[in-house]
Structure 1
C-alpha cells in the first residue's frame, strides 16, 4: 500500500510541475494595457480555454498531492 501511494505521489508531483510550467505568466506589460479589449472577450470563456483547463488540473493535482502527503505521513507513522 505504501509503495502504491509513493508512486501516485511522484506522478502527481510531476503533473503539478508540468501544469505550473505550462501556464502563462501573470505579469502584464505595456502591450496588454493597449489591447485591453481582447481581455474582456476572452475573460468570459476563461474556463474553456487551455489556460483554464491547466488551472483546473493544477488545483486538482494539488488536492491529490495534499491527500497523498497525508496518507504517506499516516502510513509511515505505523
Structure 2
C-alpha cells in the first residue's frame, strides 16, 4: 500500500508541475516596475482556460496533500 501511494504521489507531483507551467501568465514582466501600471494589484476573475487550469491545479494539490498525509500516517505505524 505504501509503495502504491508513493508512486501515485510522484506521478501526481509531475502532473501538478505541468499544470502550473500550463497556466497563462497574469501580467507582463516588462510592466511590473512601471508606475503607470494600475492593473498590477487588481484582481480579475479567471475565465475560460485560466479558470479551468486554476480549478484543476487546486484539485490536484488537494489530492496530493491527502496522499502525502496518508503516507505520513502509514509510515508512522
Pairwise same-fold verdict (TM > 0.5): yes
What's 1:40 paired with?
A: none
Higher helix share: 1
Corresponding residue number in structure 1 for 2:72 = 73
CA distance in 2, matches of 1:10, 1:61: 12
**Runs (5+) with no aligned partner, structure 2:** 40-44
Distance 1:15 1:56 in 2: 14
Distance 1:6 1:66 in 2: 12
Q: Which TM-score applies when normalising by structure 2?
A: 0.72
What's the CA shift for 1:74?
0.6
Q: TM-score, normalised by structure 1?
A: 0.71
RMSD over aligned Cα atoms: 2.1
Q: What are the within-5 Å matches in structure 2 for residues 1-78 of structure 1?
A: 1-28=1-28, 29=31, 46=47, 49-78=48-77
Report the secondary structure of 1:25's partner residue. Answer: coil
